[in-house]
Amino acid sequence: MKEYCYTYDFGILKLTIYSNEKGITKISAKQHNEINCVKKETPLIKKAYKQLTEYFSGQRQKFDLPLIMKGTDFQIKVWKALQTIPYGEVRTYKQIAEQVNCKKGYRAVGMANNKNKFVIVVPCHRVIGSNKKLVGYDLGLEIKQYLLDLEQKVVK
């Protein structure tokens, strides 16, 4: 199945959106070897771009995109749990572990977050340490804080 990709600049981040005919396969801020994807703005990629633009402007709190999640059963369970964290709120790794019925699995939750292929749309930036401090964000704690602050401005 052919994969498409297109990169957009959102100011704070450049995001590349990947899709195939069935759904979004990845949204990433990391530079990847894009040899295996066709650089093209498909209708699905444009839809994701529009929703991300609305998010960054404070107009969107939930995403409505067909995501193709590939990972272990546990990872997918964690990613789906992340999508239940309300906009403008945070949860601890421990709370997510409890939510997925793995009470002592907070480190495993952290590892699943690290494998999240859908930046912002699957909001791993909303997960914090038990001490309420920002920890472990693949794009850096400055970006994590920026996203949390963005959401707080909207909900207040």
CATH number of the domain that 106 lies in?
1.10.10.10
- The number of domains in the chain is 2
Same domain for 9 and 47, yes or no, is yes
DSSP H or E run through 15: strand 14-19
Q: If pLDDT is split at 50, 70 and 90, which confidence band does 60 have? A: very high
What is the percentage of the chain residues whose pLDDT exceeds 70?
A: 97
Q: What's the one-letter identity of residue 63?
A: F
Give this prediction's pTM.
Answer: 0.92
- pLDDT tens track for 118-137: 999 999 999 999 898 898 88
Q: How many CB atoms lie within 10 A of CB 103?
A: 10
User: What is the Cα–Cα distance from 155 to 51, expressed in whole angstroms?
Assistant: 18
The domain containing residue 77 runs over which residues? Answer: 73-155
**Catalytic machinery residues:** 124
Q: Decide if pLDDT at 61 tops 80.
A: yes
Same domain for 44 and 81, yes or no, is no
Predicted confidence at residue 26, as pLDDT, reads 95
**Higher local confidence (pLDDT), 26 or 135:** 26
Span 3-26, average pLDDT: 94
CB 67, CB 118: distance < 8 Å? yes
